[in-house]
Amino acid sequence: MIKKVREKSIRLLTMEAGGRRVYKNHPVYAQIERELGRQTAGYKGECALDYYLTFLPDDKYFIFHGLRLEDPKNRHFQMDTFLFSLSHGLILESKYISGELEFDEKTSQLIRKVPEGHETMGDPISQVERHKEQLRSWMEKHLGKVVPITGQVVLTNKNAILLNASPSIMKKVTFLTNLPNRMKSINENLPNPILSEKELRKAARMLNQKHAPDQFDFMGYFKLSQKEIITGVICPECSHSPMIRKSANWICLECGCKSKNAHIEALQDYALLCGKSISNKQAKEFLHLSSSSVTFQILQSMNLRHTGTKKGRVYFLD
């Protein structure tokens, strides 16, 4: 049973907005493009887990996607997927990496062969072990019980080849297609209930309540100012900007596309890149509107939380 659905991370959504709103000839665009590619691949790998999780019995596990918690030492950690049952918890860390891969146990590195030689990456096994300890301490603090926590690194790219893997590595790493068998084995090795069904449901509610969404300061990270961001409503059909507002519609002068709500994505981009609050004046400038009254009507129609009155009103782009 899915208790927290899979969503794109704030970082991925922000990078997508940045890809739309930074000029392609800007010096940092190539860096944005690389990070967007990395984030997209990671999300694709996480989504690849979903089909294989359908082999789990619905009444056995609670499933949480993208759960981010704060441990007792005020350190945040995020799990791609967390499976929770009466007897144990299972952390799944997906890696959408292609090519010939080798886990170096001496240096705790993941190494990929590339034409130039090799590329070293962070060790996902160490990451899972760290998350296991953080989750154990979180549960001890909030649930008052020690629940067995195990973990698996899941290679989700069908073009991944694992080299020189020792038996100890193969206990911690599996290919996506073998995931149902690995989960079955883990379940058989941890059959004894630690929690009652009531305690499990209570714990699931608490996990969702304590989820702490990540934040990403795009402008600060890439050292950009708002003047370097493409403004205006972007056409959903041809990506031309800006669309013009005419007779309660957004019109693209490039392809003729007509839309009533294209401003929504534009304001979402503003929230991700520039900030989660906006005034009538800022919205008017960003959307390329000529009338403050039209801007007011658009913001009012979105039923946004707001504070203040008249020129001092600020809307919150939640």
Give the CATH number of the domain where residue 270 resides: 1.10.10
Note whether residue 93 is domain-resident: yes
> 199 and 69 in one domain?
yes
pLDDT in tens, 216-264: 999 999 999 999 999 999 999 999 999 999 999 999 999 999 999 999 9
**Chosen domain end from 155, 176, 209:** 209
What does residue 76 show for φ and ψ, rounded to 5 degrees? -85, 145
Assess if residue 17 is contained within a domain: yes
Q: Around Cβ 298, how many Cβ atoms within 10 Å?
A: 20
Region 45-69: mean pLDDT is: 90
At 278, the amino acid letter reads I
| Backbone φ, ψ for residue 112 (5° rounding) | -115, 135
Residues 200 and 237 in one domain: no
Please list, in sequence order, all residues whose beta carbon lies within 8 angstroms of the beta carbon of residue 168, skipping any fewer than 6 positions away: 105
Q: Does a structural domain hold residue 247? A: yes
| Per-residue pLDDT, 159 | 92
pTM over 0.75? The answer is yes
Residue in 273, 271, 279 with CA at minimum distance from that of residue 224: 273
Q: Are residues 51 and 190 in the same domain?
A: yes
Mean pLDDT of 103-127: 89
* Confidence (pLDDT) at 283: 97
- What percentage of the chain exceeds 90 in pLDDT? 88
| Mean pLDDT, the chain, integer | 94
Domain with 169 in it: 2-209
Looking at the structure, tell me whether residues 198 and 309 fall in a common domain: no
Q: Are residues 247 and 196 in the same domain?
A: no
The reply to whether 56 falls in a domain is yes
Residue 119 lies in a domain: yes
Are 175 and 303 in a shared domain?
no
Count structural domains, the chain.
Answer: 2
The answer to whether residues 196 and 57 belong to one domain is yes
**Which residue in 184, 79, 190 sits closest to 132, CA to CA?**
79
Same domain, 108 and 153: yes
Region class of 87: left (phi > 0), else alpha (psi between -120 and 50), else beta: alpha
Residue 228 to residue 212: CA distance in whole angstroms? 30
- The answer to whether residue 170 sits within a structural domain is yes
pLDDT at residue 29, rounded to an integer: 97
Q: In 10 A of CB 36, how many CB atoms?
A: 18
Best CA proximity match to 18, nearest among 237, 284, 222, 215: 222
State the average pLDDT over residues 60-72: 95
